[in-house]
Structure formats: structure tokens, C-alpha cells
Structure 1
Amino acid sequence: MTILLADPVVRAVRVLDNGDPLVPLDFAPGVWVREGLARRLDVARALLPSGVDLRVVEGHRSASDQNAIIERYTAELRELHPSADAVELARLSSRFVAPLAVAPHVAGAAVDLTLVTASGVEVWMGTEVDATPEESGGACFFGAPVDEEARRNRTVLADALGAAGLVNYPTEWWHWSYGDRYWALLTGAGHAVYGPVEVPAWARS
């Protein structure tokens, strides 16, 4: 059974922030993540087969940006599920965007990424990055039935990132994290090591 980010068991995980700073990813312009995550992404890149690399689409996200995504997607869901109450809407929304209180991106602990060839062309993963469950017919779930090429590429991605210590959010094949509450829950860590953080003022555009 998939544990969603809206589940109270995720919120119950303690956070003892270890103070790792946000750092820019040297291979992904404009993307900031916690230093410990950046190191693990370097490890993952080294583990990938020759001829493929990671393309990180997004890392740290501000609280205001997170809220905007939540509000936009919840409005879409409200139209699709007019009889759903607030609890059910929050559950449905969390398949695609985390509640602010536990959001890995806001902690600088998550990346949205895919694989690219040596020439920079994205490989086929079964859906586009950030395809909602509705848009993709559920194919955005990591374990969804997809064609052989997409399954092979998802496995390559998962093998490298998993070996580097990251965990996947199962409703989004592209979302991987380290150090946040969801990571702590899945790995059995005693607590999360990253809580909400902001990009330094001098680095904001």
C-alpha cells in the first residue's frame, strides 16, 4: 500500500535539522538543494550507465510556490470530484503535491528529475515530468504499467538513485528525496534531518 504525503504518519516523523546548507547544483543551473543531497546526486550520476545522465528539473521550492501549486491542483480536483470533502481533496492532492507542512521540496530535500542521453535528449520514461495522475491516466506512478522502454529507463534511474540513498515518492516516478520526513519514514531513520529552509537572500533573482 502506498503511503501518501498527506498521511498523518508522515507528519508524525520528527525533524532534527542537521544544518546542511542549500547549495547550487553544478550540473543543473538555477537548482538549489541541501548539500547532503547534492553529494548523493553526484554518487548517483557516477553509477549511471555510460551514455546517460541526470537532468534535474527542480530542487528547492519556496513555501509560496508550494502553496500556489497546492491551490491550483486542488481547484482542478474540486471540479473533478465535487462531492469530495476537504480531507479527501487533501489526500488526492498529495499524490501530486505535498502538503506544505511535510513538503520535501521546501526543505531542499527533493529533486524532480529524469534521464538524458549524452547529447542532452530526454529518454522515454512513460510520461512527461510533472504529469498529473489525471493527465497520465495513472502512468506517473512509478510502478504503473508502462511500455518496456519506459520500464527499463525507470529501473536505471531507480537503481542509481536508490543506491545513492534517495527514496522515490511512488506516485511520481521523477520525484526523489533524501533527508526529509518521507525519506525517514521509508528508511526507518530515527528522524528527518532536513526541515523547511529558504534560499539565501543574495542568491534570489
Structure 2
Amino acid sequence: MIVLSDPRVAGVPVRECGEPLAEVATLPSVTLDPRERDAAGAYGRARTGVCERLRAAAAELPAGVGFLVIEGHRSSAEQARRFARYEDRLRAAGHTDPTEIRRRAAAFVSPVEVAPHCAGAALDVTLVDARGVELDMGGAVNGHRTGDEERCPLDAPGLSAPARHHRALLARALSGAGFVNYPSEWWHWSYGDPYWALLTGARAAVYGPV
């Protein structure tokens, strides 16, 4: 797995296209988790190109199934705070090597300089039924916060048949619309950022920090 702290990610050039942020909650079959909104609702925004691809992905879902967006754009200051907090957790667990701490932290929290969320390029997303009830995905979004790291990877072993089916459904819809997954987080999908560019072979990212 290529982690976000990999020098190859930072080495991808960014040719900023200048697209603004838009509200994801205005899209058909897409709702925003109110628990994750900040005072200005900033977590519910993403670049317009990302929103259009989310719209296309939602159209491929079966009837009665929709997307629940947990988080979209995130400020650089908030990203830096989360990365530092995860590094502190690793130090408290006994890790001492700075390089290893950074690598382990980047499995779940991106370094701010390449963070897809800071570019408005990433969405943390899950599936819900017609009543808005989350489907069984085999583990919670942001499960690493509660020590459930084993179930966080998209292809985590030991998942139930319904959970594996729902993850496959999520992956088909989003990858078909051009998104790439960060493999250690089944819920994290992005388009247009340096990580996306590296995985897809694009010459450059189209979204930088905003």
C-alpha cells in the first residue's frame, strides 16, 4: 500500500484548476451527517468536480440506497491538529522512531501538505437505506479512532457477507465515477488530488489546498 506520506505523493505536481467548493447535501441521493459539521458547515463541501462525480456515483446505486457523507473539505489547521494528535497516540503506545511514527500516522491521517481533504478532493462516505439508516459496512467510519483498525481497510478479512457486499457496492459506484480509495480506510475516496494522480498515472493533480 502507498501511504500518503510516501515521497512520490508529495512529488506529484499540482496544476490548480480553480474550481470552487460546493455543498454536497444538494445532490440527489446524498445526505450529510450533521454530527460532523462545524459551525460554518465546512465539512459538507467539496470541489464542484468532486460533487459532479458523486452525483454520477449516486445514480449507479440501487433504488433505496444513497450516500451519507461524513466529511468533505477540511481546513489545513484542522488537518495538522489531527495528524499531530495521532502521532501523540503512537508515541504514547511506545513508538519512538520519528520516521516510523510518521508512516504509521499517515495510514489514517494525511500529512497536511498532501491531504486530499484540504484540497476539497476527498469525501468520507458510507451507504444508507431509504430511511437514512446506515448499512452494515463491517466497521464504523473512522474506526481507527476507537481502536478498530483491523476492520478499516477496504478488503479487511473476516467481514460478514452483507458487509462485504455493501463495501463492494460502494467501491463499484465510486470507482466507476473516477474516485480512488485510500486502502486503509474503506470510507475515504478522492479525485483530483496528488494521491489520485499517482494512482491513476495522471500527469498532475488538479486540486491543491484551498
When you count helix as a share of all residues, which structure comes out higher? Answer: 2
Question: What is the TM-score with the length of structure 1 in the denominator?
Answer: 0.92
> Could you list the runs of 4 or more consecutive aligned residues of structure 1 that deviate by over 2 angstroms after TM superposition?
27-30
The one of 183, 193, 197 aligned to 2:206: 193
CA distance in 1, matches of 2:101, 2:200: 27
Q: Does 1:97 align with 2:96?
A: no
8 Å Cα contact 1:96/1:133 also seen in 2: no
Which letter does structure 1 place at the counterpart of 2:199? L
Match of 1:45 in 2: 58
CA distance in 1, matches of 2:183, 2:45: 23
Match of 1:117 in 2: 129
CA distance in 1, matches of 2:148, 2:66: 24
Q: CA RMSD in A?
A: 1.2
String of CA shifts for 1:53-84, please: whole Å, max 9, x gaps: 000010000011101111111111111133x3
CA distance in 1, matches of 2:192, 2:88: 30
Q: Aligned to 2:165, what secondary structure does the other structure show?
A: helix
8 Å Cα contact 2:143/2:149 also seen in 1: no
Map of 1:65-84 to 2, 5 A cutoff? 65-82=78-95, 84=96
CA distance in 1, matches of 2:149, 2:46: 30
Q: Does 1:106 align with 2:105?
A: no
Unaligned runs of 5+ in 1: 198-205
String of CA shifts for 1:5-56, please: whole Å, max 9, x gaps: 0110111111001111111111445301000000000000000111110000
| 1:159, distance to aligned residue in structure 2 (A) | 0.2
Q: 1:102 to 1:60 in 2, by over 3 A?
A: same
Task: Report sequence identity in percent.
Answer: 49
Unaligned runs of 5+ in 2: 33-40
Question: What is the TM-score with the length of structure 2 in the denominator?
Answer: 0.90
Q: Aligned to 2:133, what secondary structure does the other structure show?
A: coil
Q: Aligned to 2:147, what secondary structure does the other structure show?
A: helix
Match of 2:152 in 1: 140
Which letter does structure 1 place at the counterpart of 2:107? R
The one of 157, 164, 173 aligned to 1:151: 164
| 1:134, distance to aligned residue in structure 2 (A) | 7.1
String of CA shifts for 1:126-155, please: whole Å, max 9, x gaps: 111011187114210111112211111000
